[in-house]
Structure 1
Amino acid sequence: MSMYCNQCEQTAKGIACTTHGVCGKDPEVSALQDLLVHAVMGLSLYAVEGRKKGITDPEVDRFTVKAIFTTLTNVDFDPARFQNYINEAVAMRDKLKERVGVSFDHNSANFQPASDVAGLTEQGKQVSLDSDKETDADIQSMQQILLYGVKGVAAYADHAAILNQTDEKVYAFIQEAMAALTRNDLEANDWLGLILKCGEMNFRAMELLDAGNTGTYGHPTPTAVPLGHKKGKAIVVSGHDLKDLEELLKQTEGKGIYVYTHGEMLPTHGYPELKKYSHFYGHYGTAWQNQQKEFANFPGAILMTTNCIQKPQESYADNIFTTGLVGWPGVHHVDGHDYGPVIEKALAMPGFPSDEDNGTVNVGFARNAVIGVAPKVIEAVKGGAIKHFFLVGGCDGAKPGRNYYADLVEQAPKDTVILTLACGKFRFFDKDLGDIGGIPRLLDVGQCNDAYSAIQIALALANAFDCDVNELPLTLILSWYEQKAVAILLTLLHLGIKNIFIGPSLPAFITPNVLNVLVENYNLRPISTPEKDLEMILG
């Protein structure tokens, strides 16, 4: 069975995965994901039409973002779960169709799902965007940019909704965009408008998530996080979701279990309402793509939240649990924040035999912390102590070429400051870069989910210097892997931020003509070498 998936940076040969996904996705799951996207397009046609008549359904809105989020890279690989999502999407579509009282000709608005996974897989192979051989390549490229951007927006909207932060405008746009993908009468400027609107709505979704995180857990504060471990039973949590972590900390309190973070969960140590738990100890391992090696050596239970899972190795397959939208066939899944099975597994495992001190890393330099010392930063810039800021952030991955980011950080002059966020920082997160007048040269803003915080820092600096963001001594150097990164890039373009460097390779779904538009309008450029790029930036 073949497949065609080009939505992530590691796609085979820089074109597409056609036999098996580099992420671990097989052709069956790929087809089921395409069919779910197709089903959501049909559901969205009726949701958009319903809004015109004053008909909205919060259940449909929440399901829409969950369904789309499950198709994002490294979230769900379980065919049985996709069968349920597809059936649920069609049931909601038909119910909403009856309420709205209209019908559409598009297949997504009318198809009926097959009765088994094999039949659904065959249906899915017929409906991916890439199965359309008649659409102009540049139009199809813009459709994919929109779809993959919407997947990122859906992820952030789902994270925010878990913390009771929602906005009808975000749901309305997601459904508007998904409905637009059924049309063949839109021109390039129409698609470009939707793409930039996607960036605008992603900014709002990230704002909601920031409000949820900081409103629930407090604003992050600078915090030293141990990289070693304590003697005793252990659970490690990977992914992004703060609510999952909080519930686990509550349920493990007083049970003699230390809780560690992995990957993008590292910045959670900076939140006051999370770090108050004495058994929330330190960080284990590095970025998501190293989990198979790192989890094999972890002597406790493993909990995967959101989008970071890889195929579990046999050595720890019985010790790993998924929760929320994450799924892998045969892996224990926890519903409703009932972490009893995870705790039981941790208590049954040996844990760490002794304490180990591997030093610390600093987190917690989100917008409140950095803006709080803005006068000191501004004085350092005006006095010449700080010459330039680099935001070096984004996704990490296994594909060669990502050493660029660590090399650039290490080669950046000592009168520059590095802001970083997301798991790309694991290339250099433990480097001691020193400080400038007491201001650390390496400031960890947080997860990829905290891109809003980084943007607010840039806007605050621009306001302080009474200039445009593009006039600041600031350069964004981004690494991308999956669809959240696409959404963040679209947000930056929506805000008019220019001269962004991106790598380690350009998206396979962007055609040369579409790339030229981005270069001409935003001076978006691919990374080259640290030496050449630093020379170009610093003159």
Structure 2
Amino acid sequence: MLKIKMLSMVLSIWSIQPDRDELQKWGSRMLCYQCEQTTPGGGCSDIGVCGKEPDVADLQDLLIDAAQRLARSLSTVPAEQRPQGASAQLENALFTTVTNVNFDAESIEALIVAVDTMTDPANPEASGASREERLTNAYKVGISARRARQGENVTGLQDLLLFGLKGMAAYAHHARRLGRTDPVVDAFMIEALAKLAEGLSDPDALIALNLKCGEVTVAVLALLDGANTGSYGHPVPTAVRMGHVPGKAILVSGHDLKDLKALLEQTEGTGINIYTHGEMLPAHGYPELNKYPHLAGHYGGAWMRQRREFENFPGPILMTTNCIQRPAPTYEDRIYTCGLVAFPFVKHVEGSDFSALLEAAKATPGFTDETNAGDHLVGFGHNAVLSVADTIIDAVKSGALKKFVLIGGCDGVKFDRSYYTDLATSLPQDWAILTLGCGKFRVIGHDYGNIGGLPRLLDMGQCNDAFSAVKVAMALADAFECSINDLPLHLVLSWYEQKAICILLALLHLGVKNIRIGPSLPAFITPSVLQVLVDTFNVMPIDTVENDLKAMQAA
């Protein structure tokens, strides 16, 4: 792990003393700042911009507290003596609280009971407490109370770790569903949550744990990559219809390829077409998914457009992971959730039996016309890119290809995310563009041309496929006998939720510097902590397209 001597740098950071009166001042007021969309002032209170109600926010805080207590109890016994399913339980608790996953108080409360029962099976209070009793004490484990006890800088570093763990758990959950686990990953999750349960406040120790979270994230991403490619084959460049054909239809959004595969199997031969939405777009590049002819195309854009787009989709909609918004009345009777996703009045599919969606598709109109807004090329995972590595290396050496710019991450609603579109369309013609995550929807839809017979725009997949970008960068560094920081590569990232946080920690663990992040910096990264990141890694917020492009050209 990258070693950093931080103590002298952070001594001044912790000069701000906790305000002991804050507990009384805040009471049980909701405060959430884990996503990029938080309201001005550093967090959402009263209700989340995402639509999260205060009771749900409090129950999520209590679920995380329960997970930390479970991890602390697990950390005191050898791995072989831990309850079966304990690591999966921790993953589920963490992933449930990721932004736009679960808005259903009842299902969150059931998870709290399950975690508490695993922590202490003999304690009848684990399942006996009422919701009101739980909520009465929720403020004690919330952000405001922790800030009051230990100051905003310590709390911010703790939450940087916690949010990184949430993102890591999401990736590990996908891998576990496909039968891939790693005891090192499970052990770190327990270790880090246990340290948070103990109230770890030493700055150097917190920074070290954050970087270790980045290290383990790299392992988790590799684990998930192996799970996906082992199950569905390595992605290959594939043209995807950005539109629809006549016929009955089901729309699948989120990230979970296993759910998509199950739905494709269950609809085979029924005359029902399956369409991807949002981060499911890259699924078309996997041979074992694309082999189904009724995987007919891609409908719509990124997650935050769903209320408008779902209204016009003439069939049922399946939400497989995070990305759900409060459904509009025009389609709330046609939307279904599965897995950890839940919304109070939305029908939930248990397991992988999607027969209810098939019946709903038969009862809805489907498409009566045909559209195609043009094909989009997916499937440039590390296997596809490295198969033409010699061509790329020759293009760089000849001067035909000057630089690579990775423009990716999460999309969101803010107007200033147009920066990413403007940057991509302003780049010189001899610069290649890499993209992944739903941030791609700010970049795709333009004709960027080719360089040396290769497309200038290479879509590397979902945020779940971030390992591809890491592997390609490391392979190119080896080929050019230099470090990643010496490559003609610029990283311009957009973030929205916690999976982006663990990706950032992974890049910092790898020693990657000069990362540009936007459209705004995390509210939990205080100015003092940000200065540490700037001084150590030269992490920087995005500026104007003109200024950033000049800086990249000069580098």
Verify same fold: TM over 0.5: yes
One-letter amino acid of the structure 2 residue matched with residue 131 of structure 1? A
Residue aligning to 1:17: 44
Residue aligning to 2:7: none
The answer to whether the aligner puts 1:69 opposite 2:92 as a matched pair is: no
Residue aligning to 2:6: none
Identity in percent: 52
One-letter amino acid of the structure 2 residue matched with residue 340 of structure 1? S
Match of 2:85 among 53, 59, 63: 59
Residue aligning to 2:64: 37
The answer to whether the aligner puts 1:268 opposite 2:283 as a matched pair is: yes
Contact 1:141/1:511 (<8 A) preserved: yes
The answer to whether the aligner puts 1:78 opposite 2:90 as a matched pair is: no
Contact 2:378/2:460 (<8 A) preserved: yes
Give the deviation of 1:141 after TM superposition.
Answer: 1.1
Contact 1:79/1:117 (<8 A) preserved: no
Residue aligning to 2:312: 297
Residue aligning to 1:187: 202
The answer to whether the aligner puts 1:381 opposite 2:408 as a matched pair is: no
Residue aligning to 2:8: none
Comparing 371-380 with 172-181, greater Cα deviation is found at: 172-181
One-letter amino acid of the structure 2 residue matched with residue 147 of structure 1? L
Residue aligning to 2:145: 131
Measured in 1, the distance between the counterparts of 2:507 and 2:300 equals 30
Measured in 2, the distance between the counterparts of 1:519 and 1:67 equals 32
Give the deviation of 1:228 after TM superposition.
Answer: 1.5
One-letter amino acid of the structure 2 residue matched with residue 117 of structure 1? R
Match of 1:90 among 101, 106, 116: 116
Measured in 1, the distance between the counterparts of 2:120 and 2:431 equals 57
Gaps of 5+ in 1: 99-108
Match of 2:323 among 293, 308, 314: 308
Measured in 2, the distance between the counterparts of 1:14 and 1:276 equals 49
Contact 1:321/1:332 (<8 A) preserved: yes
Measured in 2, the distance between the counterparts of 1:364 and 1:179 equals 39
Residue aligning to 2:132: 118
* 1:148-297 alignment, distance < 5 Å: 148-184=163-199, 186-297=201-312
TM-score normalised over the length of structure 1: 0.96
Q: Deviations over 1:481-539 (max 9, x none)?
A: 00000000000000000000000000000111111110011000000011100100112
Match of 1:435 among 436, 450, 454: 450
Contact 1:31/1:122 (<8 A) preserved: no
Contact 2:165/2:213 (<8 A) preserved: yes
Measured in 2, the distance between the counterparts of 1:46 and 1:485 equals 29
* 1:489-528 alignment, distance < 5 Å: 489-528=504-543
Residue aligning to 1:27: 54
Q: Deviations over 1:432-483 (max 9, x none)?
A: 1000121101000000000011100101111111110000000000000000
Match of 1:343 among 341, 355, 358: 358
Contact 1:10/1:22 (<8 A) preserved: yes
Contact 1:28/1:121 (<8 A) preserved: yes
One-letter amino acid of the structure 1 residue matched with residue 482 of structure 2? C
Measured in 2, the distance between the counterparts of 1:455 and 1:474 equals 12
Comparing 393-402 with 125-134, greater Cα deviation is found at: 125-134
Contact 1:38/1:128 (<8 A) preserved: no
Give the deviation of 1:112 after TM superposition.
Answer: 4.7
TM-score normalised over the length of structure 2: 0.93
1:215 partner SS: helix
2:37 partner SS: coil
One-letter amino acid of the structure 1 residue matched with residue 113 of structure 2? N
Gaps of 5+ in 2: 1-27
Contact 1:114/1:120 (<8 A) preserved: no
Q: Deviations over 1:74-129 (max 9, x none)?
A: 0000011011001111100003xx8xxxxxxxxxx998566332332223222124
Structure 1 residues 110 and 183: alpha-carbon distance in aligned structure 2, compared to 1, 3 A threshold: farther
Q: Deviations over 1:289-313 (max 9, x none)?
A: 0000000000011000110100000
2:161 partner SS: helix
2:358 partner SS: helix
Please report the RMSD computed on the Cα atoms of aligned residues, expressed in angstroms: 1.4
Measured in 1, the distance between the counterparts of 2:209 and 2:410 equals 24
Q: Deviations over 1:8-33 (max 9, x none)?
A: 00000051000111111110100000
Contact 2:117/2:127 (<8 A) preserved: no
Residue aligning to 2:16: none
One-letter amino acid of the structure 1 residue matched with residue 498 of structure 2? Q
Contact 1:157/1:166 (<8 A) preserved: yes
2:406 partner SS: strand
Match of 1:332 among 344, 347, 367: 347
Contact 2:32/2:143 (<8 A) preserved: no
Structure 1 residues 110 and 518: alpha-carbon distance in aligned structure 2, compared to 1, 3 A threshold: farther
Measured in 1, the distance between the counterparts of 2:201 and 2:58 equals 26
Contact 2:117/2:126 (<8 A) preserved: no
The answer to whether the aligner puts 1:477 opposite 2:492 as a matched pair is: yes
1:63 partner SS: helix
Contact 2:31/2:143 (<8 A) preserved: no
Residue aligning to 1:6: 33
